[in-house]
Structure formats: C-alpha cells, structure tokens
C-alpha cells in the first residue's frame, strides 16, 4: 500500500468517524457508523432465528407464573421507556424466558427484543424490585443505541483503513449482518461508559415504573455472591467496577422523586 493511499484512506476514515458522531440520551458522545435502523433490522433477524432455535430445542420456558411475572415487570418498564423515547413505541418489544438454570444472564437487542434466563431468576432469586433493575438496565442499552455503537466501534477498529470505502457504502453487509448483531447484542461487553449510562437510565425507568430504586444496589450485592470468585455471565459481560454498587446507592435519593409504589403503573402488553 503506497504512502499516498494510506494517507488518503486515513483521512477518509477520520472524516467518516467525525461525521458519524452522535449523542446518547445522557449527552455522551457516541460513534455511529451503523445506524440504529440498521442495528434494529439485523437484530430482528437474529432474534427470530434465536427464538426459533430455542423453541425447537425446547429451551423456552413454559412456566406460566414465571412468564407472567417477567411480562408484568418488563411491561411496566417498557411503558416508561416509551415515555422517555416516544419513537420507541414503534419497536417490536418482546421478551422470552430461556429455560437454562445454569446461565445467569439477560439481554436486550436493538429494537427492544429481550430475553432473561431462568438461571438468573433461580440463582439470584431477585425480588420484583431487583428484577426491574435487571430488565431496566437491559432496556436502557436499547434506548441508548448501544448495539449500533458496539458494532460501529468494532467496525472502526477491525475492518481497517483500507476498507473505508466498503464501510461507507455497505455498513451491515461488510460485517455479516444479523449474525454479527446477535454477537454484539448478547455476547460482547459494553464499554464502561455505556454500562454507567445503562445503570443511570435503568434505575430511573424502574423508579418511574414503581420499583424501589434501593434495589439497584441490593441486586448487585446478590449478583456478587452468586458466582463467588467466578462472576455470573451477566456480570462477566458487563464491566463491574468496584464502586458500581456504591454509585447506584448514591443515585437512590434523586431517583426517589420518581418513585411512587402506590400510583397506577400501566403495563405494556407483551
């Protein structure tokens, strides 16, 4: 590769990155080479394929009480998510309970497609207030467009300057489409900044939905005990600084202005 070509493509990549900057709901700057619509479309394909596969393997929970509980908590959170981001009313919100007692995990893809594993429900044994913190945190990732952000960061760092033309012309095709969306939504860790942001948005969603904000700190205390020296998957794929529990506890007082457990809290029908 000639020096001139390297300089030209380097300038092109820098220009593309600058043009692709966006702002998250908390005012944080984000790199967005992949649009939210592209991330949502790819996530939909991945989610449908994942759920179909789980269903064929008999790994979708049929426990009506568990499903009803998850739908109730998640439905109240979705109502608040739509109030926070009105455009998300057009998302195809959904949640499934995956019957896997060994996996302590939950996730939300772009566009509001969610899952929670029975391992988290059984091993952590969260109260409804604590369950709301789990699902609120995951919903927050979708509201803040973290799937597209992760895909964009990976694109900028691994495709290479020489592929900048491909990047500009065909974002998703160059990355493998729906399969990549699934990988980034479920398996790849978010940045520390994105995690802090999801904590902040999630605890607010939960408080507005009528769930005690004090549960954010108690949830993380429970999660820490579950894995001992080996943290559960939900923690291992979510960077957990030592002061995370402390920061959530510090947020509690200001979240109490949103919290009214006796109010009527509408439930989005899932």
Task: Look up residue 231 and give its DSSP letter.
Answer: -
Burial 142-175 (b: 16+ CB within 10 A, else e): bbbbbbbbbbbbbbbeebebeebeebbeebbebb
Catalytic hit among 92, 130, 138, 204: 138
Q: For residue 92, indicate whether it is catalytic.
A: no
**Number of continuous H segments (helices) and E segments (strands) in the chain:** 12, 5
d(CA 195, CA 210) in angstroms, rounded, equals 22
Mapping DSSP onto H, E and C, the string for 179-215 reads: HHHHHHHHHCCCCHHHHHHHHHHHHHHHHHCCCCCCH
DSSP letter (8 states) at residue 157: I
CA distance 116 to 122: 11
The residues assigned a catalytic role are 138
């Amino acid at each position: 590769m000639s020096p001139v070509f390297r300089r030209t493509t380097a300038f092109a990549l820098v220009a593309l990155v600058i043009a692709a900057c966006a702002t998250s709901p908390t005012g944080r700057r984000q790199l967005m080479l992949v649009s939210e619509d592209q991330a949502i479309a790819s996530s939909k394909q991945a989610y449908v394929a994942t759920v179909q596969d789980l269903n064929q393997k008999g790994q979708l929970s049929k426990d009506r009480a568990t499903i009803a509980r998850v739908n109730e908590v998640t439905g109240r959170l979705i109502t608040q998510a739509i109030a926070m981001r009105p455009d998300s009313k057009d998302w195809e919100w959904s949640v499934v309970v995956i019957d896997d007692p060994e996996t302590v995990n939950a996730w939300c893809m772009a566009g509001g497609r969610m899952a929670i594993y029975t391992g988290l429900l059984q091993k952590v044994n969260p109260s409804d207030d604590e369950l709301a913190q789990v699902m609120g945190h995951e919903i927050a990732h979708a509201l803040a467009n973290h799937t597209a952000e992760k895909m964009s960061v990976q694109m900028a760092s691994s495709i290479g300057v020489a592929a900048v033309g491909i990047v500009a012309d065909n974002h998703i095709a160059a990355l493998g489409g729906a399969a990549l969306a699934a990988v980034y939504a479920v398996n790849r860790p978010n940045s520390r900044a994105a995690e802090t942001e999801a904590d902040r948005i999630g605890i607010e969603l939960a408080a507005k939905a009528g769930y005690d904000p004090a549960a954010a700190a108690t949830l993380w205390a429970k999660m820490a005990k579950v894995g001992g020296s080996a943290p559960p998957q939900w923690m291992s794929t979510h960077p957990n600084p030592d002061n995370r529990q402390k920061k959530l506890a510090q947020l509690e007082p200001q979240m109490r202005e949103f919290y009214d457990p006796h109010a009527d809290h509408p439930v989005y029908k899932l």
